[in-house]
Each structure stands twice: as C-alpha cells, then as structure tokens.
C-alpha cells in the first residue's frame, strides 16, 4: 500500500527534510545565528565603566542619606538653598509638628495597655513612678484582669501601714481625720489613705464612728473606697456588729469584712463580691501589750494560717500620747489582688475597733465585752 505524495509537490510538510538548508519550502528563512546560551569566552567580560547603564533600562536603586541630613536620594544635587527641595505644585508645605521628608517621625508618647484610639489620635501620656521618684514604688504594667490601680498589689506579699501623727489631736485630744501612708516591704510608697468624716461624728462617736476611707495613688487618683457604717462591736449586740465594704475602683464592690459574734476573741470573715466567704481573721484575747506586737491571724477556710495583720510596737512615747499606730499586713503572693485590697480594709477596721483612742484615753478591754 502506497501513500499519495501530492502534498509534497504542493509545499506541505516533509518529515524527511533537513533541519537547516531548505527542508521547509514554505517556512520563512531561518536566521543562521547560533541558538541558546553561549558560555562567555575567557577575557570577553569587561567591568562596567562609570556611568554605565545596564541593558534593558535597569537603573540602580538610589541610596537614601541618613535621616535628618536633608539631602535627596540618588545622584540628584542638593538644593541650592540648603536642606530639602521645596514642595512641588499642589503639595503642602510641612508645618510645625509635621514630619519632614527624609526624617524619622519623632517618638510618640507611651500608650497604656488596652488603649484603643482612632487613627492619628495620640494616646494619653503615662509616666510610671519609679523607686527614685519621691520614694514611690514602680507600678507593674500589662497585668490582665486587674482593677485599675491595684497593679501594685500583684507583686508584693507585705504592706506596712503607718498612721500620721496629728499634733492637734496629740496635744488637745480633739479628734481629727486619720491619714495613713501605705508602703511595701522595701519602704517604697504604694498608697495614701485619708479618712473622711465630719467633726461632730468624730468627737461624739469616738472609735465606733462611721467613716469613709479613700485610698489614693501617686497621682492623687482614688483607686479604692472603703465604707464603715455605724455599728456596735460588743458581744451584747449580736445583730449589729461591725462591717466594712471595699470597692476598687470606687463603685465596684470587691469584698466585705464582717465581724462574727464571739465572746473571747475577735473574729472576722472576709467575703468576695458574691458574698462567699474566702478568708477568716482571728484575733487575740487581749489586744493590749507592752513592748510587743499584737497579731491577728489570717486563716484559710480549712484552718491554715496564710498571713497576719500585726499592730507593731511604735515606742513608749508614741503609744502613750498618740493613737498613730504602725501595722504590718502579710499575705500569700498569689492571693487574689481583690482579696489583698480587702485585707487592707480589714487593717483599718481593726485599727478603729481596738487601737483608736478617744481623747487620748485607752479603751482596750479583754475579749469582746
């Protein structure tokens, strides 16, 4: 069987034609230049001369001058007047506070954790108190699930409460509002405590008076509020015993201190914001001592001692003629920061119940009679 060969005479495809040299009658003429990559000959490559532009229109990337030099990138000459080039048509001249071309933007203020602002909005400036700034403690940052202002309590397990001596009260016996300085174990200030009360209530009700206690930070911002209502402390009135409510920040109750009915020793229960008991406090039979400390044990619900509130001996003269006392509070480092704040409130309640004098007269008594 033979195939027709008519298409060969009409300029069709010839599979037996030579690749170069007339094998394709109807194909366009083929360039005789060699195809593919040709290795360079030795000595054929010449280094580029100054000003040489690579083929294909490629231009080298211009190098920017250091920020603030005012120069322009690349081979452009500097402006005759010095500095950077003037803005072109339609461009705005940079004004005060605007970033200049070729300069890094000025560093912005510190943004506190959780700040969310609109684009371009400047965050509030926050300056952290350091140990060398009037002796204040450095506030920890980035503490999750912590009421504002209680970040200080997350890194400490001991507080020292020092009451300020009021000369008018020491000389005349006239009751004034108490003021406290709260420090950590290193002696760095953490908070201020200021009692708020009226003159008539202070001098008529004495140690049983109701009061509000404001706890301030270094910026004089109120971070805690403590309220003590008017009540009795004797065991003869079991339905009207002492209590204190602690809020942090003000308006947000984090816990309460409630006095339990007892005859021999003072006892308190610390509850959380839901009213569930968390910690118990047990005091001594006699709250008066000479040249020693009076300790109130901080107990867990299982009966283990986890800390204490101690009234420290402050000297014979100070103890006899003033009611300005020293207190120490110790608690576990990993205790909930809200319960640490409530323990601070328990210290103020214990001070008012057992160590506050009326007209410079001692009112200590054994038990809860």
What are the tokens at 206?
């004495």
Is the pLDDT reported for residue 355 higher than 60? yes
- Structural domain includes residue 32: no
- Structural domain includes residue 332: yes
- Structural domain includes residue 242: yes
Tell me the per-residue pLDDT of 164-186, one tens digit each, with 9 for 90 and over: 877 776 676 677 888 999 999 99
What are the tokens at 19?
């690749």
Looking at 13-22, 153-162, 232-241, which range is the least confident one? 13-22
pLDDT number for residue 58: 47
Distance CA 364, CA 369 (A): 10
Cβ neighbours of residue 243 under 8 Å, at least 6 residues apart? 228, 229, 231, 256, 257, 258, 259
Q: Is 151 helix (H, G, I), strand (E, B) or coil?
A: helix
Task: Kindly state the average pLDDT of the residues 43-51.
Answer: 53
pLDDT, greater one: 70 or 346? 346
SS3 percent helix, strand, coil of the chain, rounded to 5, is 15, 20, 65
Q: Is 153 helix (H, G, I), strand (E, B) or coil?
A: helix
Is the pLDDT reported for residue 133 higher than 60? yes
Task: Kindly state the average pLDDT of the residues 145-161.
Answer: 93
- Whether residue 249 has a cis bond before it, omega within 30° of 0: yes
Number of structural domains in the chain? 1
Structural Rg of the chain based on CA atoms? 42
DSSP of 317-367, one letter per residue? HHHHH----EEEEE--TTS-HHHHHHHHHHHHHHIIIII--BTTB----ST
- Structural domain includes residue 199: yes
Is the pLDDT reported for residue 237 higher than 60? yes
Tell me the per-residue pLDDT of 67-100, one tens digit each, with 9 for 90 and over: 444 444 444 455 444 445 555 555 555 555 454 5
- Structural domain includes residue 135: no
- Structural domain includes residue 106: no
- Structural domain includes residue 338: yes
Is the pLDDT reported for residue 2 higher than 50? no
Return the number of other C-beta atoms located less than 10 Å from residue 197's C-beta.
19
Distance CA 324, CA 334 (A): 31
- Structural domain includes residue 165: yes
């Amino acid at each position: 069987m033979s195939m027709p060969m008519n298409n060969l005479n009409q300029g069709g495809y010839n599979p037996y034609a030579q690749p170069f040299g007339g094998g394709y009658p109807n194909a366009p003429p083929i360039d005789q230049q060699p195809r593919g990559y040709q290795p360079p000959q030795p000595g054929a490559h010449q280094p580029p001369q100054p000003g040489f532009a690579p083929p294909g229109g490629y231009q080298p990337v211009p190098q920017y001058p250091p920020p603030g030099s005012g120069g322009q990138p690349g081979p452009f000459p500097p402006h005759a007047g010095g500095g950077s080039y003037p803005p072109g048509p339609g461009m705005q001249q940079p004004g005060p506070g605007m970033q200049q071309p070729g300069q890094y933007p000025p560093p912005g203020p510190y943004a506190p954790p959780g700040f969310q602002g609109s684009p371009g909005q400047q965050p509030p400036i926050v300056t952290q108190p350091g140990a060398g700034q009037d002796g204040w403690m450095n506030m920890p940052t980035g503490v999750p699930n912590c009421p504002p202002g209680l970040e200080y309590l997350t890194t400490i397990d001991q507080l020292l409460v020092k009451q300020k001596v009021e000369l008018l009260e020491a000389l005349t016996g006239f009751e004034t509002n108490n003021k406290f300085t709260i420090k950590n174990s290193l002696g760095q200030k953490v908070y201020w405590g200021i009692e708020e009360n009226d003159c008539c209530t202070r001098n008529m009700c004495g140690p049983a008076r109701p009061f509000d206690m404001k706890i301030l930070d270094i910026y004089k911002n109120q971070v805690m509020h403590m309220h003590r209502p008017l009540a009795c402390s004797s065991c003869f009135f079991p339905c009207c015993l002492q209590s204190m409510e602690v809020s942090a920040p003000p308006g947000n109750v984090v816990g309460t201190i409630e006095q339990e009915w007892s005859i021999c020793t003072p006892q308190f229960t610390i509850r959380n914001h839901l009213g569930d008991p968390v910690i118990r406090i047990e005091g001594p039979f006699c709250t008066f001592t000479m040249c020693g400390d009076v300790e109130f044990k901080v107990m867990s619900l299982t009966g283990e001692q986890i800390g204490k509130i101690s009234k420290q001996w402050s000297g014979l003269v100070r103890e006899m003629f003033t009611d300005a006392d020293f207190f120490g509070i110790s608690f576990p480092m990993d205790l909930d920061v809200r319960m640490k704040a409530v323990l601070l409130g328990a210290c103020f309640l214990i001070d008012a119940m057992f160590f506050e004098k009326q007209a410079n007269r001692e009112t200590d008594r054994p038990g809860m009679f």
